[in-house]
C-alpha cells in the first residue's frame, strides 16, 4: 500500500475533528492585480496548502465526512492558450493521482457539483475570516437544495467556523513540519550572515536587503516569509519599517528582521549589529541587556509553562537593566506594575511561527494563557527602542533600536533553538565582522 502523503495525513487529522455529515470548504485564493494587468506573485492560502500541497489559484477543496471520508478538489482546467501566456496548469485529469484526492472537477463546475456534494449534510465548515466571500455561494447552494425537499433531499442547517479545529492542528507541528522549519530557519541564518557581511561595503539599506534575499534564493527559498526590514539608526525604532531606502549611518546599528520561506514554512530572525563592525559603549550596553532578556525568556520555555512566562521573564530583565543604566528611575516592581517599560519595549516577546510568520493558534484557552506543549514553535524577540523623541533620556542612548529574535521549538525535554549559527554576543559579532573585512 502506498504511504500517505504529508497532506493526506493533515486531511485525515482534520476529518477526525469534524462531526459526521459535515463538509469543510477551503479555497486557495485568487490572483490579485499589482498594477494594470500584472499580478502579484501568487501564494496559496496557508490552510489550503496545508491540506493539499497545491499552489494554483482559483482552487477549492471540499472535505466531506459521511459514511466515509471524501476529498474533492476543484481546479482550473487545462487550457493550452492560457498556459502559453501564464504558465502550466496541473489540470483536472492529473489531479487525483498527483494530489491524492478522491475526485477532481473543473472550477467552472463548482456551483453544479456543490449542490450534489452538500446533499444530506448537516454542517458546513468555512473560515469565518473568509465568510463574506463564501456567504453568497453557500446561501445559493442551500436554497437550491431546499427546493428538493420533496425528493427526500435535505440541506445543511449549520455554518461553523473551520478556523478553530484546523488552526489548532496547525499549532502543533509534525515531524515533517519541524524538518521544514529547521530548513527555513537555517536558510534564514545564512541570509542574515550575508547581511552582516554586506553592510561593511554597502551605502544603503536596500543593498543589504539585496544581499540578504539573494542568499535566501541561493539556498532554495522561493520567497521571503514577510517583507524584510533593514533599518539603520533611528529607522530601527520603527517596528515595521520596510522602506529600506535610507543611507546607512556607519556609526549606528543596523537592525535586520527577515526570514526565508521553505516548502510553505517561515523562518523569522532579527539581528542587530554595528554597521562599522564595532559597537559603541552605549550600543553594546543596551545590546547586552536585550540579549540577556532574550536568554531569560528562552530559558523559561518548556512544556507545562504558561505562554506569558517568557514575556514576564524578558520584561523583568529589561526593567532591571533600564534602572541600572539610569534610563528608568524607581522600584523595579512598581515600574513593571505600571508598565513603564512600554516606553521602550512596546510589543510582545514573541508569536507562534509556522506556515504564516504570525502563525495561527489560540494564545489563550478559557481566557487563560495556554501552556507550552511539545510541537509548538514560537519566536522570542525582546527589544529596546530609544528614539530622539525621548527627550528625557540621556542623548547618548538616542536612535538606538535593538531587537534580537530566534525561533524556538518546544520539545518534551524543554526547547530547541532552530536558528543556531549566528554570532550573538557583542564579542562574537565584532570578531565575526572583523574577519569579513
Are the CB atoms for 140 and 111 separated by under 8 Å? yes
Residue finishing a domain among 106, 135, 170: 170
Query: Do the domain assignments include residue 79?
Result: yes
270 with 226, same domain: the answer is yes
184 with 136, same domain: the answer is no
Query: For residue 437, what pLDDT band results from cuts at 50, 70 and 90?
Result: confident
Residue 356 has pLDDT above 90, yes or no: yes
Our count of domains for the chain comes to 2
Query: Do the domain assignments include residue 239?
Result: yes
Nearest C-alpha neighbor of 359 from the set 376, 384, 342, 382: 376
Task: Determine the pLDDT at residue 2.
Answer: 66
Average pLDDT, the chain: 97
In angstroms, what CA-CA distances link 236 with 138, 208, 399, 429? 46, 14, 8, 18
Query: Do the domain assignments include residue 348?
Result: yes
Instruction: Give the pLDDT mean for 171-193.
Output: 98
What is the CATH number for 90?
A: 3.40.350.10
Query: Do the domain assignments include residue 281?
Result: yes
Name the β-bridge partners of 273: 254
End-to-end CA distance of the chain: 57
pLDDT digits over 202-257, tens only?
Answer: 999 999 999 999 999 999 999 999 999 999 999 999 999 999 999 999 999 999 99
**Residue 5 CA to its chain's centroid (Å):** 23
Query: Do the domain assignments include residue 145?
Result: yes
124 with 206, same domain: the answer is no
What is the CATH number for 196?
A: 3.90.230.10
Gap between the Cα atoms of 318 and 311, Å rounded: 11
Residue finishing a domain among 170, 188, 218: 170
pTM score, whole prediction: 0.97
Query: Do the domain assignments include residue 150?
Result: yes
Task: Determine the pLDDT at residue 224.
Answer: 98
Residue finishing a domain among 118, 151, 170: 170
- HSE at residue 176, side-chain half, CA atoms within 13 A, is 11
Task: Determine the pLDDT at residue 4.
Answer: 86
Query: For residue 357, what pLDDT band results from cuts at 50, 70 and 90?
Result: very high
Count of Cβ atoms closer than 10 Å to residue 6 Cβ: 14
Instruction: Give the pLDDT mean for 37-53.
Output: 96
334 with 412, same domain: the answer is yes
Percent of the residues in the chain that have a pLDDT greater than 90, as a whole number? 98
Gap between the Cα atoms of 182 and 171, Å rounded: 16
Residue 375 has pLDDT above 70, yes or no: yes
Query: For residue 144, what pLDDT band results from cuts at 50, 70 and 90?
Result: very high
114 with 230, same domain: the answer is no
Catalytic residues: 37, 240, 257, 268, 347, 351, 358, 381, 385, 403, 405
Percent of the residues in the chain that have a pLDDT greater than 70, as a whole number? 100
Query: Do the domain assignments include residue 1?
Result: no
Task: Determine the pLDDT at residue 150.
Answer: 87
Query: For residue 1, what pLDDT band results from cuts at 50, 70 and 90?
Result: low
Residue 285 has pLDDT above 80, yes or no: yes
Are the CB atoms for 196 and 216 separated by under 8 Å? no
CA angle centred on 291, ends 287 and 296, rounded to 5°: 150
265 with 413, same domain: the answer is yes
334 with 432, same domain: the answer is yes
pLDDT digits over 377-418, tens only?
Answer: 999 999 999 999 999 999 999 999 999 999 999 999 999 999
111 with 181, same domain: the answer is no
Amino acid at each position: 500500500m502506498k504511504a500517505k502523503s504529508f497532506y493526506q495525513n493533515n486531511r485525515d487529522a482534520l476529518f477526525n475533528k469534524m462531526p459526521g455529515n459535515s463538509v469543510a470548504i477551503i479555497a486557495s485564493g485568487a490572483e490579485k492585480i499589482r498594477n494594470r494587468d500584472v499580478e502579484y506573485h501568487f501564494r496559496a492560502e496557508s490552510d489550503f496548502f496545508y491540506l493539499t500541497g497545491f499552489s494554483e489559484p482559483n482552487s477549492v477543496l471540499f472535505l466531506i465526512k459521511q459514511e466515509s471520508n471524501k476529498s474533492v478538489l476543484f481546479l482550473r482546467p487545462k487550457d493550452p492558450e492560457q498556459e502559453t501566456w501564464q504558465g502550466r496548469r496541473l489540470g483536472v485529469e492529473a489531479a487525483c493521482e498527483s494530489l491524492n484526492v478522491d475526485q477532481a472537477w473543473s472550477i467552472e463546475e463548482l456551483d453544479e457539483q456543490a449542490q450534489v456534494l452538500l446533499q444530506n449534510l448537516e454542517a458546513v465548515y468555512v473560515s469565518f475570516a473568509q465568510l463574506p466571500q463564501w456567504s453568497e455561494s453557500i446561501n445559493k447552494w442551500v436554497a437550491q437544495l431546499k427546493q428538493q425537499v420533496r425528493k427526500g433531499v435535505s440541506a445543511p442547517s449549520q455554518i461553523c467556523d473551520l478556523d478553530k479545529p484546523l488552526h489548532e492542528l496547525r499549532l502543533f507541528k509534525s515531524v515533517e513540519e519541524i524538518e521544514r522549519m529547521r530548513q527555513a530557519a537555517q536558510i534564514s541564518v545564512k541570509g542574515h550572515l550575508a547581511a552582516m557581511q554586506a553592510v561593511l561595503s554597502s551605502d544603503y539599506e536596500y543593498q543589504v536587503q539585496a544581499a540578504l534575499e539573494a542568499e535566501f534564493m541561493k539556498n532554495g527559498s522561493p520567497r521571503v516569509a514577510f517583507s524584510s526590514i533593514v533599518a539603520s539608526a533611528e529607522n530601527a525604532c520603527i517596528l515595521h519599517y520596510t522602506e529600506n531606502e535610507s543611507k546607512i549611518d556607519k556609526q549606528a546599528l543596523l537592525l535586520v528582521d527577515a526570514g526565508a520561506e521553505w516548502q510553505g514554512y517561515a523562518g523569522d530572525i532579527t539581528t542587530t549589529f554595528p554597521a562599522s563592525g564595532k559597537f559603541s559603549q552605549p550600543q553594546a550596553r543596551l545590546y547586552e541587556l536585550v540579549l540577556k532578556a532574550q536568554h531569560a525568556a528562552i530559558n523559561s520555555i518548556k512544556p507545562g509553562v504558561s505562554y506569558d512566562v517568557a514575556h514576564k521573564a524578558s520584561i523583568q530583565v529589561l526593567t532591571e537593566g533600564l534602572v541600572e543604566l539610569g534610563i528608568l528611575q524607581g522600584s523595579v516592581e512598581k515600574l513593571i506594575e505600571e508598565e513603564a517599560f512600554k516606553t521602550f519595549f512596546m510589543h510582545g516577546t514573541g508569536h507562534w511561527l509556522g506556515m504564516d510568520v504570525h502563525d495561527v493558534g489560540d494564545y489563550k484557552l478559557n481566557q487563560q494563557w495556554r501552556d507550552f506543549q511539545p510541537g509548538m514553535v514560537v519566536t522570542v524577540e525582546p527589544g529596546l527602542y530609544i528614539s530622539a523623541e525621548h527627550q528625557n533620556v540621556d542623548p547618548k542612548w538616542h536612535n538606538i533600536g535593538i531587537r534580537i529574535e530566534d525561533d524556538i521549538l518546544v520539545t518534551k525535554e524543554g526547547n530547541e533553538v532552530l536558528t543556531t549559527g549566528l554570532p550573538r554576543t557583542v564579542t562574537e559579532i565584532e570578531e565575526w565582522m572583523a574577519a569579513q573585512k
